[in-house]
Structure 1
Amino acid sequence: MMDGRRRRGGSPDLSYVDSAGIVRNRSVILGTIHGYYKEALDALPLEDMSELAPRLLDAGVCFGFADTITNIIANTLCFLPDKDGEPEPDGAKKRKRKMMTKTKASAIAREEVLSEIVAGDVPSPPEARTIAERSLEGLITFLTSYFYYLPTWDALRYLCLANADLLVAVRLIELDRCYHNKDEFHIRSYAVKTALKYAALSARQPNVDDFCTSSFSLASHLKLITQTVLPNRSCRLSTEQIYWLSGTLKKPLKLKKSGNPMVLADERVHNCHSHASGEKVPGGLTISLRVVLLDRIHAQYLKAVSRLPMQDVRVRYHRGLVNAGYCYGPFNPVSNIIVNTIWCSTAFPASEEFEVDMICTSTFVRVESRSLSGLIKLLLACIPEISEHEAMVYLLKNNLKVRKAIRMARMEGCDISSWDVSAYKAAADASFHPELEAYVEFATQSLPLVQSAVKSLLQASNSLSSSKVLQLSMLLSPSNCNPAKPLEATIELSNDALEMFTRFKENFISQQTFFRRKVEAALRNKGYFYELRVICVANERVGRQKSFLDFKCPYSHVNFLASPKVGTGLKLFFAEFGNDDDDDDQSSCCIVSNKSIHIRCCYCEYEGTRIVHPVENYCGGDVDFAKMARGEHDITNARIISGGKLAISRVGMCGEDYIYFDPTRDIKLIQGMNQTASTANASWSDIERIAQTYVF
């Protein structure tokens, strides 16, 4: 490896969201890439095979599944015809004629080829970019396509630390995000295949399919090819070796465990920049880590919902889940969600129960965000000397289990404070607990008395029956938790606000009826003998809206739980269907796993909905990301991230709280709705008068 010899322009800039730093990092990475191309050119026998130079300039990008120089050589050779001759790509012919005219020789001088590669120091339009610039675009696209919520400036930072080595950058991101084994890079995964395709499209490869085929062939013969290309860089490859390499790259993919390219990439990690050696992660990654944590929290909520009796969820526990079903407490996250949900529903029953077909998505997203805030504050209260970012790292490493995180911190030398009333109060306050004082008393005084019995019930079976839930409810009953008495509302809803509430609730009922019909049609269309139990998450804004004035989008995506009509057990499904009333025949669905990662949908990510998607094609998936890679989509990675930021910050009141409105307790909601209704009906002079009262 060349280390610093490939760098130009000094050390990388590790700051965040700074335009000057982004420009500097691009310059540093391009300087590093230019060094790789010089070494690759020195290894190729251009004097004997002059056609290699134009092929390199057309298709020799530096990204793939090997080290960077091997990638350049392999990508150049994957377009090389067999010895008996095959037609060359048109682009290669044109460039070759141009180069042959320029040099008037059979061998192109390496200096002149390198000068064409280095000519891209000034940003160029896509059609005029050099192979080095196109390589950089491909590197960025692979990382931002493969990793959810990775901004371009973070991708550049990792590429600087990785010396522009793609798989080293992948490993550094995985280390910073504390990925578990099941989440790590697997070359046979759908996510890797699609990210490589998007990178090739972004880099304007002349033949994307051939490039992808060759890249995976390289991975399956990686050690053998590396031993041919890398052993002695001072010796130039012979024409025989070139044709052997080209033929090997055309062989079908036969990956073996020993051929995992990440094994060699791990060895190269140790040669990277010192900041990439596993030291403390810079705080600028906090937003990205928050999203990774929320993904894991969402999986815990799906598991918790699936453990509860579905009829009980639909009739009684849906309100307690989204209002106070937090994942922090003395048990594991799933058990905490169940206990907190049942306690809230038992201690503070709804003033008016009603059955639902779906859990309100916005309130579901909010309780997950609030849970994370509570987990972080709880950990900070117990480990005062760490930062919020370090708390998130501990949570990631210990799969959201606070006690394990505390033990790890203690083993690493941190001073630990007791997990007491103040810790629970900090967590409840950070998570906007609707019954803070009652919850703290429950968690610190009442729950410890029945904790052993509760734990036994939760561990008895994976799926809780209604009778076991009733036993839990009795253990967590008001006689044990002594909740505060219901408040007496000092204000009432205005007539206008009451009318708004009524209309909102009618709209919700209409929407869930529509979703239920569409989901049932999707199950029929696919031949599933399953019955819908509950819709967990929904996004009705999938696809481009019809017009500037019509905000309706063509599709909806949902996750729902369904059980077989014959037999037992629940399955998580994904469904896509049209938002028009008359296209039920186009509805589709399939079973998915809540452990799925790296399967992406640009529309759901932009809306901040954590919907688990399948590998199969759907709106917002492969076709849309391919357009994004070519710069042909109105959604970009930056727009996805900016939209997602709104979702991870949802901790306050939201409009859908009207679904669970309790006139005896929801004073703040009454005040907010009265003000909203008043403003909606106010004249312009009234609005001016109200605004003037807030001028200081």
Structure 2
Amino acid sequence: MDGRRRRSGRPDVSYGNSDGIAHNRSVILGTIHGYYKEALAVLPLDDLPELAPRLVGAGVCFGFGDPTTNIIANTLSSFLPDKPDPDHRAKKHKRKASIKTPSAAARSDAAGDAPSPPPETRTIAERSLEGLITFLTSYFRYLPTWDALRYLCLANADLLVAVRLIELDRYYNTKDERFHISSYAARAALTCVASSARQPDVDGFIAGSFSLASHLEFVTQTVLADRSYVLSVEKILLLSGMLKKKPRMLDKSDNPMIFADERRLRNCHTDANASGDANCEKVPGGLTISLRAVLLDKIHAKYLKAISRLPMQDVRARYHRALVNGGYCYGPFSCVTNIIVNTLWYDSTFPAMEKLEVDMICTSTFVRVESRSLRGLIKLLLTCIPEISEHDAMIYLLKNNLKVRKAIEMAGAEGWKSSWDVSAYKAAADASFHPEPEAYVQFSTQSLPKVQAAVKSLLRASTPLSSNDVLQLATLLPSSNCISAKSLETIVDLSTDALDMFIAFKEKFVTQQGFFHRKIEAALRKKFYASSLLS
């Protein structure tokens, strides 16, 4: 846009409150109506009246550009110009003023003058709002609707600015975590958006969106060059033809997120100058119900990375049990190293009584160990810094990528007093329902520090470990002398009902495992066949 911040109202942060949600929707709709007025002001509707129904039908304000550019681009992507009529200018002056022309209908629809209709006949502005919400809640896992509305308020209904604000709020700092339009997740979210906004041509909308991204700088400059003049018919035809071409390779100068960041900073500086708040670019923190789920996603990524470093055959034949029982991500190292070390230690100290080779680990089992790991991390931090709340602990973990010691350092720099002793690991083990808390505490506080340097040396590289590396590491880790009596007890024979239940569960697991195994093998064969044809 032109750099002006739209002050139609501040977001309501009453999470889940119906009045707050209604307020935010009203604020965003008012902002969107302003964008449509700008788009209508530069479109030559008098010379090309056929643009009006295209705008009402397909000219949504979301896409990879700023909202006004998106409206015009989406309108032109579906625009098929008629043959020029030499008598058109003469005819248009003879129309009766009482007749509501397509241009007038488009202005009324975009301005939101009429009462809110049912979903199948929503105005283009209302459909745009639904699309914006759908994109954010589809792309960002666990983002509730009221949070999406808050970000859209802060971003002035600019989709990619809202995406960037969420990335900053959730501390997506690595290249892999940040939004990229070529990712499968972005394309899937765009498809969901087109359906929720009732776009007449979903495939055409997606193709037009990527065409806009590949010519973003030129289209944006053309559309927003001079707001005092209506775009000429020649420019409309040029843009329409460009947006219908196959998208070219994305150039760095056309990166949509660079433009989005510029709009975010430009709008923020305007508010900063007005209010004197130098930190206004930060998204206001609030108690979001998605915070815990965001941390769980990060923990899930750590587990996947840890598993990828272990020899797959060893995981299938042996370490899967220790991973889900004692392979928690807290400890003296990084999360990935803690998972590996804790898994190998638990397997060697409490070996399985019966061997079982598996091809997969159930999702529910993975969710359980990840959730318990998070409980342990939070409790560890709360024990070291007893004055902070659980929400503050999660914020510190999020800001420091789950690194507890860095989180403690950050809290200390902000004035919180901290201490670290044996009780921290004991609290974490109890909170995570560790099967052998006493043994783990002794291992992590007494035995492990003696070999900590050697363990770091073995796991310094991020390359996959061989079976010999794993054996060497497992031998290096000392077994605890404090083995609970519970682990030495003789296993009690199961009752008939319990045994039947266990057998049924095992059969169900084997059936599911076989199904997924066949699906993956078929997918790999298909990929191999396709690559062999290309080569």
Flag the 1:523–1:206 CA change in 2: closer, same or farther, 3 A.
closer
Q: Does 1:245 align with 2:239?
A: yes
Residue in 1 that maps onto 2:286 = 283
Residue in 2 that maps onto 1:482 = 482
| Cα-to-partner distance string for 1:193-250 (whole Å, 9 max, x where unaligned) | 2322221221112222222222222221111122122132122222232222222222
Q: Conserved in 2, the CA contact under 8 Å of 1:167 and 1:265?
A: yes
Q: Does 1:261 align with 2:256?
A: yes
| Cα-to-partner distance string for 1:255-304 (whole Å, 9 max, x where unaligned) | 2111101111101113157899443653332x323223222222222332
Residue in 1 that maps onto 2:432 = 431
AA at the equivalent of 1:135: S
| Cα-to-partner distance string for 1:467-515 (whole Å, 9 max, x where unaligned) | 444444444343x54333437879x96x8x6223312331233234324
Residue in 2 that maps onto 1:456 = 457
Deviation at 1:330, TM superposition (A): 0.9
Residue in 1 that maps onto 2:200 = 206
Residue in 1 that maps onto 2:448 = 447
Residue in 2 that maps onto 1:155 = 148
Q: Does 1:506 align with 2:507?
A: no
What is the rounded CA distance, in whole Å, between the counterparts of 1:292 and 1:220 in structure 2? 31
Residue in 2 that maps onto 1:32 = 31
Q: Does 1:174 align with 2:167?
A: yes
Flag the 1:503–1:120 CA change in 2: closer, same or farther, 3 A.
farther
Q: Conserved in 2, the CA contact under 8 Å of 1:42 and 1:236?
A: yes
Residue in 2 that maps onto 1:374 = 376
Q: Conserved in 2, the CA contact under 8 Å of 1:178 and 1:393?
A: no
Q: Conserved in 1, the CA contact under 8 Å of 2:168 and 2:283?
A: no
**Equivalent residue of 2:206, what SS?**
helix
Flag the 1:328–1:196 CA change in 2: closer, same or farther, 3 A.
same
| Cα-to-partner distance string for 1:323-346 (whole Å, 9 max, x where unaligned) | 221011111212211221222233
Q: Conserved in 1, the CA contact under 8 Å of 2:112 and 2:125?
A: no
Deviation at 1:311, TM superposition (A): 5.0
Flag the 1:472–1:108 CA change in 2: closer, same or farther, 3 A.
closer
AA at the equivalent of 1:261: P
Deviation at 1:125, TM superposition (A): 1.5
Residue in 2 that maps onto 1:299 = 301
What is the rounded CA distance, in whole Å, between the counterparts of 2:71 and 2:362 in structure 1? 50
Residue in 1 that maps onto 2:185 = 191
What is the rounded CA distance, in whole Å, between the counterparts of 2:111 and 2:121 in structure 1? 13
Deviation at 1:376, TM superposition (A): 2.0
Gaps (5+ residues) in structure 2? 86-91, 530-535
AA at the equivalent of 2:282: E
Residue in 1 that maps onto 2:88 = none
AA at the equivalent of 1:269: R
AA at the equivalent of 1:57: V
Flag the 1:340–1:28 CA change in 2: closer, same or farther, 3 A.
same
What is the rounded CA distance, in whole Å, between the counterparts of 2:462 and 2:112 in structure 1? 66
What is the rounded CA distance, in whole Å, between the counterparts of 1:114 and 1:483 in structure 2? 76
What is the rounded CA distance, in whole Å, between the counterparts of 2:206 and 2:521 in structure 1? 37
Flag the 1:504–1:85 CA change in 2: closer, same or farther, 3 A.
farther
Deviation at 1:4, TM superposition (A): 6.3
What is the rounded CA distance, in whole Å, between the counterparts of 1:460 and 1:108 in structure 2? 64
Deviation at 1:516, TM superposition (A): 4.6
Q: Conserved in 1, the CA contact under 8 Å of 2:447 and 2:478?
A: no
Q: Which structure 2 residues correspond to residues 557-572 of structure 1 after superposition, within 5 A?
A: none
Q: Conserved in 2, the CA contact under 8 Å of 1:316 and 1:353?
A: no
| Cα-to-partner distance string for 1:169-209 (whole Å, 9 max, x where unaligned) | 11111111211222212122222223222212211122222
| Cα-to-partner distance string for 1:136-195 (whole Å, 9 max, x where unaligned) | 111111112222222211111111111111111111111112112222121222222232
**Equivalent residue of 1:182, what SS?**
coil
**Equivalent residue of 2:189, what SS?**
helix
Q: Which structure 2 residues correspond to residues 50-449 of structure 1 after superposition, within 5 A?
A: 50-82=49-81, 84=83, 103-104=98-99, 108-109=103-104, 113-119=106-112, 122-179=115-172, 180-254=174-248, 255-270=250-265, 271=267, 277-279=280-282, 281-285=284-288, 287-310=289-312, 312-350=314-352, 352-357=353-358, 358-384=360-386, 386-410=388-412, 412-449=413-450
AA at the equivalent of 2:455: V
Deviation at 1:364, TM superposition (A): 2.5
Q: Conserved in 1, the CA contact under 8 Å of 2:318 and 2:357?
A: no
What is the rounded CA distance, in whole Å, between the counterparts of 2:106 and 2:521 in structure 1? 61
Deviation at 1:76, TM superposition (A): 2.0
Give me the identity figure in percent.
61
Flag the 1:102–1:282 CA change in 2: closer, same or farther, 3 A.
farther
Deviation at 1:316, TM superposition (A): 4.1
Q: Conserved in 2, the CA contact under 8 Å of 1:382 and 1:417?
A: yes
Q: Conserved in 1, the CA contact under 8 Å of 2:36 and 2:111?
A: no
Flag the 1:281–1:434 CA change in 2: closer, same or farther, 3 A.
farther
Aligned length: 509
**Equivalent residue of 2:361, what SS?**
coil
Q: Conserved in 2, the CA contact under 8 Å of 1:374 and 1:427?
A: yes
Q: Conserved in 2, the CA contact under 8 Å of 1:83 and 1:243?
A: no
What is the rounded CA distance, in whole Å, between the counterparts of 1:305 and 1:113 in structure 2? 56
What is the rounded CA distance, in whole Å, between the counterparts of 1:501 and 1:306 in structure 2? 35
What is the rounded CA distance, in whole Å, between the counterparts of 2:291 and 2:68 in structure 1? 32
Gaps (5+ residues) in structure 1? 87-96, 529-587, 592-696
AA at the equivalent of 1:267: E
Deviation at 1:395, TM superposition (A): 2.8
Q: Conserved in 2, the CA contact under 8 Å of 1:6 and 1:33?
A: no
AA at the equivalent of 1:510: E
What is the rounded CA distance, in whole Å, between the counterparts of 1:321 and 1:436 in structure 2? 15
Q: Conserved in 2, the CA contact under 8 Å of 1:177 and 1:292?
A: yes
Flag the 1:68–1:442 CA change in 2: closer, same or farther, 3 A.
same
**Equivalent residue of 2:495, what SS?**
helix
Flag the 1:589–1:340 CA change in 2: closer, same or farther, 3 A.
farther
Flag the 1:464–1:116 CA change in 2: closer, same or farther, 3 A.
closer
| Cα-to-partner distance string for 1:661-696 (whole Å, 9 max, x where unaligned) | xxxxxxxxxxxxxxxxxxxxxxxxxxxxxxxxxxxx
Q: Conserved in 2, the CA contact under 8 Å of 1:25 and 1:156?
A: yes
What is the rounded CA distance, in whole Å, between the counterparts of 1:315 and 1:107 in structure 2? 69
More strand by share: 1
Deviates more, 1:306-315 or 1:65-74: 306-315
AA at the equivalent of 2:345: W
What is the rounded CA distance, in whole Å, between the counterparts of 1:14 and 1:353 in structure 2? 54
What is the rounded CA distance, in whole Å, between the counterparts of 2:259 and 2:143 in structure 1? 24
Residue in 2 that maps onto 1:648 = none
What is the rounded CA distance, in whole Å, between the counterparts of 1:481 and 1:365 in structure 2? 31
